[in-house]
């Protein structure tokens, strides 16, 4: 079973819609995003997932919604904003979804996930497995310093 689906199912219903990966990657490339092998592997396993995650430590309450769908996520953030986030992370980023009921945009970069909101950038772990754990279980993400 998909690790993300298995973890997220603890907090509510999880679905995975069928997606056309080639079309998704072509859309990202046409918008100027770098499609890495790590991103492709991530999307092969997780694209189309819609589910729930635990509320973050400082936001108690019911589970929050998330999704992995780059073709939708790229419509939620301007490319220029992503470039600003890239200066903070030091790596190319690609919008891949949203979490916290749409309050944070999820980005993939260098094999890990980042959450961004306005001028805040959070790194969700140092490996993909840790990133998924932090996201789904509401653990503390590392806020990266911005200028």
pLDDT at 3 over 70: yes
How far is residue 44 CA from its own chain's centroid? 14
**34-70 pLDDT tens trace:** 999 999 999 999 999 999 999 876 666 789 999 999 9
Q: What is the pLDDT of residue 58?
A: 64
How confident is residue 76, by pLDDT bands cut at 50, 70 and 90?
A: very high
pLDDT at 142 over 70: yes
Q: Which DSSP string corresponds to 59-109?
A: S-SS-EEEEE-HHHHGGGS-HHHHHHHHHHHTS--EEEEEEGGGTEEEEEE
Q: What is the pLDDT of residue 121?
A: 98
Task: Compute φ and ψ for 31, nearest 5 degrees.
Answer: -95, 5
**88-135 pLDDT tens trace:** 999 999 999 999 999 999 999 999 999 999 999 999 999 999 999 999
Beta bridge partners, 116, equal 105, 121
Question: What's the domain count of the chain?
Answer: 1
Structural domain span for residue 26: 3-144
Higher confidence at residue 3 or residue 29?
Answer: 29
């Amino acid at each position: 079973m998909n690790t993300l689906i298995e973890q997220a199912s603890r907090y509510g219903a999880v679905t995975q819609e069928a997606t056309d990966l080639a079309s998704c990657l072509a859309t990202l490339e046409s918008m100027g995003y770098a499609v890495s092998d790590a991103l492709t592997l991530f999307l092969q396993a997780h694209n189309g997932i819609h589910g729930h995650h635990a509320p973050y430590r400082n936001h108690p309450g019911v589970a929050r919604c998330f999704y992995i769908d780059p073709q939708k996520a790229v419509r939620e953030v301007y490319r220029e904003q992503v470039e600003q986030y890239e200066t903070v992370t030091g790596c190319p980023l690609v919008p891949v979804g949203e979490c916290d009921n749409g309050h944070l945009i999820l980005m993939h970069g260098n094999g890990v996930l980042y959450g961004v909101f306005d001028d805040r950038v959070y790194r969700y772990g140092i490996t993909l497995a840790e990133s998924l754990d932090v996201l789904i279980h509401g653990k503390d993400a590392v806020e990266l310093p911005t200028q």
